[in-house]
Chain A
């Protein structure tokens, strides 16, 4: 079975500072990993995905994540936070081909301090 753990339910950073949201995964098979963002009263938007190609994945809105097998991590980063980045962020893992079930973490609420 696959699972993800998001460390820190709330993260606050100043505008212009580095954003780091942590995600660790557990999977018995090579994982496919995703980061989604959810704005208030909206659905989920895909930020980026890891599907066993490059370990450094670039996504939308300046976000990127690095897959580290040795640390079973897939942390999300952005060099400079913007006010519009304030939202809930979810890490998710999917099993091998043929199973579309996404298992989500509990989420991290990102607050940007002006």
Chain B
């Protein structure tokens, strides 16, 4: 079975630009979460979506937004990019409220570089 997939793999943007990152969860998973991992640090929670509704939001500015589509895939959008937004963006999927496996499966991430 295919795991969590993310696109693109790498991305280079200029300060002030906008970026959209995409994530496809494991088949059957209805929950998607986004994390930001700055070099040398642990991942930081950004958003969680379940059944197309936001169920959690981390301490990130309003420049960050996300949505989940009817097929449970998800997009993370970041506006007005700053140098500090350079990071590995990880997507994770899980069964969510359907099951108590408590496991989130992570994708390979999108490496965003802001210049």
Cα A42 to Cα B110 with chains together (Å): 10
Q: Which of A11-19, A60-68, A72-80, A99-107 contacts B (4 or more CB under 8 A)?
A: A99-107
- Total count of chain A residues near the partner, CB < 8 A: 24
Question: Which label, helix, strand, loop or mixed, suits the secondary structure of the A interface?
Answer: strand
Residue pair B106, A45 in contact (C-beta under 8 Å) = yes
User: For window 69-115 of chain B, which residues contact chain A by CB distance below 8 Å?
Assistant: 90, 92, 94, 96-97, 100, 102-109
Instruction: Identify A97's interface contact among B4, B58, B100, CB under 8 A.
Output: B100
Residue pair B56, A101 in contact (C-beta under 8 Å) = yes
If the complex has contacts A32-B102, A94-B102, are A107 and B41 also in contact, measured as CB distance less than 8 A? yes
- CB-based nearest A residue for B109: A43
Residue pair A103, B102 in contact (C-beta under 8 Å) = no
Residue pair B106, A90 in contact (C-beta under 8 Å) = no
Residue pair B107, A103 in contact (C-beta under 8 Å) = no
User: For window 46-62 of chain A, which residues contact chain B by CB distance below 8 Å?
Assistant: 46, 49, 51
Chain B interface (Cβ within 8 Å of chain A)?
Answer: 4, 31, 33, 35, 40-45, 48, 50, 55-56, 58, 90, 92, 94, 96-97, 100, 102-109
